[in-house]
Structure 1
Amino acid sequence: MNLNKYNRFKKAGKVQEFNARNKELWMYTRVSSKEQTKKKYSIEGQRSSIKAYARENDYLIVKEHGGTYESAKGDLTRREFTQLLDSVKRAKKKPFAIAIKFISRFSRSGGGAIGLVEELVNNVGVHLIETSTGLTTELEKDRLEIYDKLLDSRRENMVRLERTLPALKEFLEEGYWLGRAPRGYDMYGERVSNFSNRIEGQKLVLNAEGRILKKAWNWKAEGMSDVDIRYKLLDKFHFKITKQNLSAMWGKPFYVGVNTNAMLDSPVRGRWPALVSEDIWDQVQKRLDKAKRKSGYDIAPVSEHRPLTGFIYCSQCGAAITSYIAKKKQVHYYKCQCQHGKGGNMNAYTTPRSLKPGVNNSFIDFLSNFELGDVEKELLKTQIKLLTQEHEEEKRSCSEMLGKELVKMQNKLDKVNEKYLLSDDVNETAFNKVKEKLEKEIDQIKEKLDDTPKNLSNQVNFIDKALDFCQNISVHWSSGDIHQKLKIQKTLFPEGLIINPETRQYRTIKMNSLISVIADISKDEKGSKSKKATRKGGLSSTVAGTGLEPVTFGL
């Protein structure tokens, strides 16, 4: 039999022929930590080894990847490593091999790494070379040894993890934070990237952004929407935060001083100063829970034409009122989701064809019930003067007390430092513990001083604005933009209002103390609740004030 005639059917062995001609290499280098990249020797050591191997074996290095720090525990999460794989797969002219000093620099993922090597060699036609040993996947025996090394790297990582996990867990249980400090805090420690923040131990300090974020938490606790909070942060402080990051912040116990890391068996009190009190945290969580419909869906977003969305509640079922627009007719409606009773759909505005007054119009009428007349205005003016004077005196007294306490604690710290410097037998551990405690107390006092409201620069102007608002509440609401409307609603009625869908009448849940003062004046003036106060069921017989604050009068 003449077998030569079958030569044309023989497979060409493209990879072998290509490799025999190709002498080009791609270089890949990597270190595990940022500190190693700054010291340079590790990256440079890898480069030198690979270049020396290329010269000795007549290879040409045509491209370099890596050259930075990336953890090898995950392959496809490493940016430089992923770019290497993508580039070699897309390259029209492929290298003979990717050169690496140590195979552990390629990957520590074990089986996953072996799969990647198999794909490179069999599907892409590119080999791996470990320049420190000369092992190459071109040879079957070397390839198996490389696979063993990849598995060994994975084992090393697992053993290292077994050693470090208990230590990390203990670190967390002692109240320390693991990872980058969340927004609003600066981290000081032994391994932070900012060298000016390097100290022994760990310390998280509230920064300027944190003090701004604290105001955002307070606004959220008062019932302000995320949209308004972002608008106010930008307007007042030129502070930018995405709606996603703001929303995520409400669910981070870190800001109340609690660590909920997945490695912990249960939440742990952190060593850092809390941004918000537990009371503020609880109020925010309560509002977030309340902002869900009973069906589990989010309340429809507010609109300029439907500002009462989520602010008013159905008197029949207690659910928050949502809203929508009939797009074809461009008519705005409020809607109760309950299936019983009448009046589920309520027109937002009164129109010539509407059978019942609009919800917005009814709210304007409701607000007018609380507006002051000229006689009541003078009585309230006296009340406001007394309240502001008491408020200023209270602030002054609080600031003086905090100032004295700050001096006292600072003196204690100075004495502790002096004793440590002058004495040779002071226990350093005990010293650091006392010092840390005093510094923490000093930081807390400074925060309280920062949070103390500043004195009113123009009390007369303040009172005039307050009285103008009290005489024209409905006008301020109806003429304001969506942000002003929401601000007025939440300030006067922090817990919202209850509406009867059939009669469109409102009942209060809780009122601001300003409205309570007006009601008291009306009682004193007429001997009982005025017609203004009781018309349409305006004032509840049991209401609690929320405190007289400057924000009330800046609407």
Structure 2
Amino acid sequence: MKNNLDYFKKFVPKNDNENHSNFIVWSYTRVSSKEQFEKNGSVERQKEANREFAEMNNYIIAEEFGGTYESAKSDWSRKEFTRLIERVTKARKRPWAILVFKMSRFSRSGGNAIGLVNQLVEELGVHLIEVCSGLSTTAERGKAAIYDSLFQAYRENLERIEIIVPAMQSFLRKGYFMGKSPIGYDHYGPKVRNEKFLSLKQKIVVNKDGELLRDAWKWKASGKYSDAQILAKLAARGLKMSPQKLSATWRIPFYAGIIINRLIDEPAKGNWEPIVSIEDFVKVQNILESGSLPGNHAGYTHNKDVEPRPLTRLLKCEKCKRYMVGYRNTKKDLHYYRCLHCKGVSLNAMTTKKAQRKGANELFIDFLNRYRLPDDLEPLVKWQLTQIFDHYNNGQSKQDIALKSQLEGLEKKRKQLQIRHGLGEIDKETYELTLGHIAEQVQNITKEMNILTPKISNLDKLISESLEKLQNLSIQWASHDLEQKRWMHKTLFPDGIYYDAEKHIYLTKQENEFLHLTHCIAKDYTENKNRKQDENLPISGWVVPTGLPLFLLLFIFFY
């Protein structure tokens, strides 16, 4: 009977744990951060350990996955991990096992990881082996130990988050930045890659590219330049950017000194110098949102605009304050402007023979003629503009003298400091600290001097030419091409003009400062007809931008 039972041993299924030499396995390695990947060589050590383990157990590593840095916060956000699982799932010939140096390298997602491992083992027949401990899913005890390791990795990750995340949130709220600073800034700190930017404390400073971008933000906020024009101006000054890069730049609050991060639920003020004011940043956002055509977020001029409708993106509805839309009636071959939100607010682009009212374009010419000065007032306005310029220029000259005096004093201090250092009266650290402080003061004074009004030798000619152009605004506008007309619109009426459909007139909420100033002067002279030319009008009675000298108003208008 015994002999008969021995015969049936060949039908008993073999245990997977027996005779598993020369099994095909795959290897997976990973570290969490780029810094770990580049500096501590952990990935290479994991690879070597997996290869040694395979050699000792007569396994053959057919493929290796990972070998890079990927956060284990989410399994499926890891490209190499996803590639591994997809290959295992779709492979005709699957590996016997996957080698992982430590279970925390495979996953930290807890229950999700356990479910995934269970699927690999039970459904696909692919085991998981932890190289550092020798644990594997080939036995139930080993499988339980693997599951426990995965859950322990999840628990460790959770505890780490509870400690690290609040610290990171506090770091951000104090004004420090996490990540790489955008173009235009040099980022100093303890964890930077470039050694020349190593510093115990984070410091973010504007570099040469940043100074050029500072101008770019001003150009964009003015509304006078498209991205294409700004890119050309930057390239001429030595900074080359792609259109996509510049378009993305306009949407980065970092440049306004603002921190936006998912870890904190509200914006925070950064510790670095902004290159654009919050006011100008908002202006640019408004230009991007409403100053460009749909889909044209970069602010480029599209060919959809046609010559018969030059007031597109200038004309607004007085009722709803939204832009009116230009369109062409193909049957009548006529162009119109219409408000999409207010019923009955529309008008012809051009005056037709049958029209009872003037078209939008002719109405705009009449609107421009309102700024024309009466011939008898032109000499008086010119004289008064000269007085205003002298008023501002004299005040600025006094400031200029005071600032030059301060510069001379700082230069004397700098020379004295160098002499004392050369004589050994002060140590190197004190010398460098004091020299840096003096240099900072010199830089601030120089910036202030650059803001002051430069003297204009041909002021009389400049004012005369400016007034001549003012007297011919409508003629200039009518003779310009579409692009030049748009430029005039942005210069003269930065907020657009509003159409009152009931009265069939144009209104404006904001006009160019030079237009406003000349209009105020003419109005005062008209209301005070007995005033003589040598009597100054009260400057305080006009709405003149604070600190903005007359020559700048002229520059804005006729640049």
* Distance in 1, Cα, partners of 2:437 & 2:266: 25
Distance (whole Å) between structure 2 residues aligned to residue 391 and residue 455 of structure 1: 11
| Pair 265,408 (structure 1): closer, same or farther in 2 beyond 3 Å | farther
Give runs of aligned pairs for residues 193-342 of structure 1, distance below 5 A.
193-219=193-219, 221-222=221-222, 224=223, 228-238=225-235, 239-242=241-244, 245-246=248-249, 248-249=251-252, 252=253, 254-259=254-259, 261=261, 263-264=263-264, 268-281=268-281, 304-305=305-306, 306-315=309-318, 317-326=319-328, 328-329=330-331, 331-337=334-340, 339=342
Q: Look up the match of 1:10.
A: none
Residue 232 of structure 1: how far off its partner (Å) = 3.1
* Shift in Å, 1:218: 3.5
SS of the residue 1:320 aligns to: coil
Q: Does 1:61 align with 2:64?
A: no
Q: Give the Å deviation of 1:129.
A: 2.2
TM-score where L is the length of structure 1:
0.72
1:74: how far off? 1.8
| Aligned partners of 1:23 and 1:58 also within 8 Å | yes
**1:517-528 equivalence runs, <5 A:** 517-519=517-519
Looking at structure 2, the residues matched to 372 and 109 of structure 1 have their Cα atoms a distance apart, in angstroms, of 76
State the identity as a percent. 35
* Residue type at the aligned position of 1:308: L
Q: State the AA in 1 paired with 2:174.
A: E
The aligned residue for residue 185 of structure 1 is: 185
Q: Give 1:345's aligned residue.
A: 346
The 5 Å alignment of 1:150-165 reads: 150-165=150-165
CA displacement, residues 450-477 of structure 1 (integer Å, 9 cap, x when unaligned): 7779888998997797567535434554
Q: Which residue of 1 aligns with 2:534?
A: none
Matches of 1:67 and 1:420 in 2, distance apart? Answer: 58
Q: In structure 2, what is the equivalent of residue 511 of structure 1?
A: 511
What is the letter of the counterpart of residue 348 of structure 2? Answer: N
| 1:177–1:270 Cα contact (<8 Å) kept | yes
Larger deviation, residues 517-526 vs 194-203: 517-526
For 1:531-542, list aligned pairs within 5 A.
none
Distance 2:305 2:164 in 1: 55
1:500 and 1:506 in contact (8 A); partners too:
yes
Which whole-Å CA distance do the structure 2 matches of 1:127 and 1:274 have between them?
A: 55
Q: Cα gap change, 1:168/1:213 in structure 2, threshold over 3 Å: closer, same or farther? A: same
Summarize the Cα distance change of 1:148–1:64 in structure 2 as closer, same or farther, 3 Å threshold: same
Cα distance in 2 between the residues matched to 1:90 and 1:461:
82
1:235 is matched by which residue type in structure 2?
Answer: A
Larger radius of gyration: 2
**Deviates most, 414-423 or 361-370:** 414-423
In structure 2, distance between residues paired with 1:260 and 1:132: 41
Give the conservation status (yes or no) of the 8 Å contact 2:251–2:285.
no
The CA deviation at 1:203 is: 0.7
Relative to structure 1, is the Cα distance of residues 215 and 484 closer, same or farther in structure 2, using a 3 angstrom cutoff?
A: farther
Partner of 2:105: 105
Mark the CA change 1:266 to 1:318 in structure 2 (over 3 Å): closer, same or farther.
closer
RMSD of aligned alpha carbons: 4.9
Letter in structure 1 aligned against 2:514: L
1:49 to 1:319, Cα distance in 2 relative to 1, 3 A: same
Please give the per-residue CA displacement for 1:128-186, whole angstroms capped at 9, x wherever unaligned: 22222222334333222222111111111111122223322332233222233244333
Q: 1:256 to 1:126 in 2, by over 3 A?
A: same
Q: Is the 8 A contact 2:466 2:554 kept in 1?
A: no
Aligned partners of 2:340 and 2:202: how far apart in 1? 51
Greater Cα shift, 467-476 or 28-37: 467-476
| Aligned equivalents of 1:385, 1:268: Cα separation in 2 | 46
1:81 positional shift: 2.4
Cα distance change on mapping 1:395 and 1:40 into 2, 3 Å = farther
Measured after TM superposition, the shift of residue 189 of structure 1 is 0.5
Alignment match of 1:550 (pick from 542, 546, 555): 555
SS of structure 2 residue aligned to 1:134: coil
User: Offset at 1:334?
Assistant: 2.0
Equivalent residue of 2:200, what SS?
Answer: coil
AA partner of residue 321 (structure 1)? Y
CA distance in 2: counterparts of 1:91 and 1:191, whole angstroms: 42
Are 2:51 and 1:25 aligned? no
Look up the match of 1:357.
Answer: 358
* Deviation (angstroms), 1:240: 3.8
**Alpha-carbon deviation of 1:191?**
0.7
For residues 381 and 550 of structure 1, the distance between their equivalents in structure 2, rounded to whole angstroms, comes to 16
Letter in 1 for 2:555: P
Q: Report the CA distance shift for 1:20/1:331 in structure 2 as closer, same or farther (over 3 A).
A: farther
Q: 1:63 to 1:390 in 2, by over 3 A?
A: farther
Mapped to 1, the partners of 2:169 and 2:376 lie a distance apart of 68
Q: Give the counterpart letter for 1:370 in structure 2.
A: Y
Question: 1:94 is matched with which residue?
Answer: 94
What is the deviation of 1:323?
0.3
SS in 1 for 2:77: coil
Partner of 1:488: 488
* 8 Å contact kept, 2:206–2:273: yes
Separation (CA, whole Å) in 1 of partners of 2:458 and 2:99: 74
In the alignment, the residues of structure 2 paired with residue 287 and residue 326 of structure 1 have an alpha-carbon distance, to the nearest angstrom, of 25
Shift in Å at residue 339 of structure 1? 4.2
Amino acid of the structure 2 residue aligned with 1:193: R
Give the corresponding residue for 1:83. 83
Distance 1:133 1:339 in 2: 75
Q: Per the alignment, do residues 131 and 492 of structure 1 end up closer, same or farther by CA in structure 2, a change over 3 Å counting?
A: same
Shift of 1:480: 4.9
Cα distance change of structure 1 residues 335 and 394 upon mapping to structure 2, 3 Å threshold = farther
Q: How far off is 1:107 after superposition? A: 1.6
Please tell me the residue identity of whatever aligns with 2:558: F
In structure 2, distance between residues paired with 1:89 and 1:145: 24
Q: Aligned pair in 2 of structure 1 residues 379, 269: CA closer, same or farther (>3 Å)?
A: same
Distance 1:504 1:212, change over 3 A: farther
CA drift at 1:236: 1.5
1:359/1:504 contact within 8 Å kept: no
Q: Is the contact made by 2:312 and 2:326 (CA closer than 8 Å) also made in structure 1?
A: no
Structure 2 Cα separation of the partners of residues 119 and 409 of structure 1:
75
Distance 1:26 1:512, change over 3 A: same
- Tell me, in whole angstroms, the C-alpha distance in 2 between the residues paired with 1:255 and 1:389: 37
Q: Cα distance, 1:519 vs. partner?
A: 3.3
Does residue 422 in structure 1 map to residue 427 in structure 2? Answer: yes
How far apart, CA to CA, are the structure 2 residues paired with 1:344 and 1:176?
Answer: 51
Q: 2: distance between equivalents of 1:354 and 1:190?
A: 73
| Cα drift, residue 124 of structure 1 | 4.6
Letter in 2 for 1:550: F
Question: What secondary structure sits across from 2:350 in the alignment?
Answer: coil
Partner of 1:3: none
Gapped regions of structure 1 (runs ≥ 5): 1-12, 293-300, 530-541
Structure 1 454/75 Cα, relative in aligned 2: closer, same or farther at 3 Å? farther
Amino acid at match of 1:422: D
CA 1:59–1:277 in structure 2 vs 1: closer, same or farther (change >3 Å)? Answer: same
Give the match's secondary structure for 2:27. strand
User: Partners of 2:326 and 2:383 in 1: how far apart?
Assistant: 45
The alignment of Structure 1 onto Structure 2 pairs a total of residues equal to 504
| Per-residue deviation, 1:237 | 1.2
Q: 1:348–1:358: 8 Å Cα contact kept in structure 2?
A: yes
